[in-house]
């Protein structure tokens, strides 16, 4: 494992893809912080919104990085050579997963560092207390591990780099849409002070039950699905509305364990020829 990790990190230091995405993450963080400065000139605004959006930024960048970085091993036949040299497939899979997690956390760090460096002198420091900020950072790390586990599953079991890249990038946006949909359904109130007409217009009126409200077992299912999605966790953390970071971390750990188990199972049976 140590030799595999050393080789991966050596490649990481030489990777133009990694440095390009890292620079993009830093530039995006600086840009958002500057936009907050522009908004603060009209009304007071805290830097927190620009700072804590990093889980969403890093998740998209990781979806690009993982399949392209590790997909090269298939195109160069490096995976087959590593297995032929005596490295076990589970260790090879685990080393790649740990490398992906490290890269994703560096993307997060680049965004945070740039946002703080640009935003603090222009807007001011964070208003979030250190303890909640640390909890959100740890929750973000757990969510990034879940993202990396899903992307590694795809990248390590798809021999075509372009196909795995499309699957990961498309997958992250589909997961974001799913999280937004689940969130909107869960936030639907039980009662409405009016009703919707056939044209989709809301007509104020008497208090009436909301047909979109979820209750009972259906609500419980939606809550579990929402909690399991790493994109849901990224949205909650970015909006600083995470109610229970410890519970979110447990769900992230479950996603990592399940997807890694499936990924290793499939990779051990994959024909590398």
Is 185 among the domain residues?
Answer: no
If one counts the domains in the chain, the total is 1
Is 40 among the domain residues?
Answer: yes
The per-residue pLDDT for 206 is 63
Is 80 among the domain residues?
Answer: yes
For 146-178, letters b (16+ CB in 10 Å) and e give bbbbbbbbbbbbbeebeebbebbbebbeebbee
- What DSSP character marks residue 187? T
Residue 80's domain comprises 2-170+244-268
Report in angstroms the alpha-carbon separations of 122 from 119, 151, 192, 193, 204: 5, 37, 43, 43, 44
Report in angstroms the alpha-carbon separations of 75 from 70, 92, 98: 9, 16, 21
C-alpha–C-alpha distance, residues 79 and 70, integer Å: 9
Is 177 among the domain residues?
Answer: no
pLDDT > 90 in the chain, percent: 34
156 has pLDDT over 60: yes
Is 194 among the domain residues?
Answer: no
Query: pLDDT-based confidence at 270, cuts 50/70/90?
Result: confident
Is 239 among the domain residues?
Answer: no
Is 179 among the domain residues?
Answer: no
At 15-52, the pLDDT tens digits run 999 999 999 999 998 998 888 777 777 777 777 777 78
Q: Mean pLDDT across the chain, nearest whole number?
A: 84
Closest CA to 71 of 157, 150, 7: 157
Write phi, then psi, for 272 (nearest 5 degrees): -85, 0
The per-residue pLDDT for 106 is 95
3-state SS, residue 76: coil
Closest CA to 54 of 238, 249, 244: 238
Model-level pTM? Answer: 0.85
At 170-220, the pLDDT tens digits run 999 999 999 999 888 888 877 766 555 555 565 665 666 777 777 778 888
Is 32 among the domain residues?
Answer: yes
């Amino acid at each position: 494992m140590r030799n595999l990790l050393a080789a991966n990190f050596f490649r990481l230091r030489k990777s133009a893809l990694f440095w390009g995405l890292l620079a993009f993450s830093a530039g995006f963080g600086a840009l958002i912080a500057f936009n907050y400065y522009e908004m603060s000139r009209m009304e007071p605004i805290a830097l927190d919104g620009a700072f804590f959006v990093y889980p969403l930024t890093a998740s998209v960048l990781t979806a690009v990085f993982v399949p392209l970085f590790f997909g090269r091993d298939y195109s160069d036949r490096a995976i087959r050579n590593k297995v032929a040299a005596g490295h076990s497939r589970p260790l090879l899979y685990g080393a790649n997963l740990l490398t992906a997690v490290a890269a994703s956390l560096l993307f997060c760090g680049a965004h945070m560092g740039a946002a703080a460096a640009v935003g603090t002198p222009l807007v001011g420091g964070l208003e979030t207390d250190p303890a909640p900020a640390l909890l959100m950072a740890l929750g973000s790390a757990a969510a990034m591990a879940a993202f990396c586990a899903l992307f590694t599953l795809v990248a390590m079991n798809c021999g075509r780099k372009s196909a795995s890249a499309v699957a990961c990038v498309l997958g992250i946006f589909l997961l974001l849409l799913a999280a937004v949909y689940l969130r909107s359904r869960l936030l639907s109130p039980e009662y409405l002070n009016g009703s919707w007409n056939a044209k989709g217009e809301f007509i104020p009126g008497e208090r009436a039950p909301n047909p979109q409200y979820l209750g009972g077992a259906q609500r419980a299912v939606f809550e579990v699905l929402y909690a399991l999605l790493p994109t849901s966790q990224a949205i909650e953390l970015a909006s600083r509305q995470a109610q229970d970071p410890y519970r979110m971390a447990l769900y992230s750990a479950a996603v990592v364990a399940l997807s890694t188990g499936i990924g290793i199972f499939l990779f051990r049976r994959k024909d590398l020829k």
